[in-house]
């Protein structure tokens, strides 16, 4: 019997990896040279999210930043034009009784009427903020940061437009404010965008999220 088995032989059974006829084992980490999966939802060996730093992602974030900025700027500009045309030199319009009114005023200071004696300084600060945001956009990969910077940019541009083009003169113009809550300073939509963007940036900073999408823990 042993001689018969040696003559007939037994069929080859692919038991080891790489044996002819065996199904090759899949490499779950394929997709990048270092074995990491690629894409926005990828994770490294420690379970931390891997930031998608592709040029396409940065381009989308920059587009979002400028879309938010343009929307905030146009809303602010349009509201100011309407207020100047319809409400300036008129009696305040009550929205919620005495709790919220529309009252057109000219503000030579910063947001919420602060520092009226330093108009030119606030103009320079607004221009500096715009330059800083433009520089940050070059390494922007975070979606929340794109929204926050867009709000800041739109608000700064809105008030800077007033500084440049409104009376009493170039870079000394008074900003148009018209939202007047009870027991609070009068402000405009640009001020609101700046404050909302600033609050969002503070929250992101506390969470340890940087503009480039990385997360750090102190």
Largest Cα–Cα separation, the chain? 116
- The pLDDT, as a whole number, for residue 107 is 87
- For residues 87 and 104, what is the distance between their CA atoms, to the nearest angstrom? 6
5-50 pLDDT, tens digit per residue, is 444 444 444 444 444 444 444 444 444 444 343 444 445 555 456 7
- The pLDDT, as a whole number, for residue 218 is 62
- Shortest CA distance to 170 belongs to which of 115, 127, 114? 127
Packed helices 55-86 and 143-165: angle between N→C axes, nearest 10 degrees = 40
Which of the residues in the chain have pLDDT under 50?
Answer: 1-42, 47
CA dihedral of residues 191, 196, 201, 207 (deg, nearest 10): 160
- The pLDDT, as a whole number, for residue 115 is 59
Cα-only R_g, the chain: 30
Neighbouring CB atoms inside 10 A of 197's CB total 24
- The pLDDT, as a whole number, for residue 53 is 86
Sign of the dihedral through C-alpha 181, 158, 126, 131: positive
As annotated, the active-site residues are 177, 191
Determine whether 196 is exposed, middle or buried from the number of CB atoms within 10 Å of its CB (0-12, 13-18, 19+).
middle
- The torsion angles phi and psi of 10, rounded to 5 degrees, stand at -120, 150
């Amino acid at each position: 019997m042993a001689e018969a088995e040696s003559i007939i032989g037994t069929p080859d059974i692919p038991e080891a990896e790489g044996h002819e006829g065996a199904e090759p084992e899949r490499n779950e980490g394929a997709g990048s040279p270092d074995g990491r999966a690629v894409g926005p939802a990828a994770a490294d060996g420690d379970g931390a999210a891997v930031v998608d730093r592709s040029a396409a992602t940065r381009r989308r974030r920059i587009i979002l930043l400028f879309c938010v900025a343009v929307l905030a700027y146009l809303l602010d500009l349009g509201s100011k034009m309407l207020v100047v045309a319809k409400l300036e030199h008129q009696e305040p319009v009550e929205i919620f009784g005495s709790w919220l009114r529309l009252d057109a005023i000219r503000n030579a200071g910063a947001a919420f009427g602060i520092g009226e004696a330093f108009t030119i300084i606030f103009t320079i600060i607004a221009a500096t903020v715009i330059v800083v945001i433009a520089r940050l956009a070059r390494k922007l990969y975070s979606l929340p940061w794109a929204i926050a910077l867009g709000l800041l940019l739109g608000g700064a541009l809105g008030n800077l437009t007033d500084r440049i083009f409104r009376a009493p003169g170039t870079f000394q113009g008074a900003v148009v404010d018209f939202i007047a809550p009870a027991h609070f300073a009068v402000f405009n939509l640009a001020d609101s965008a700046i404050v909302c963007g600033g609050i969002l940036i503070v929250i992101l900073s506390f969470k340890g999220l940087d503009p480039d999408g990385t997360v750090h823990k102190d």
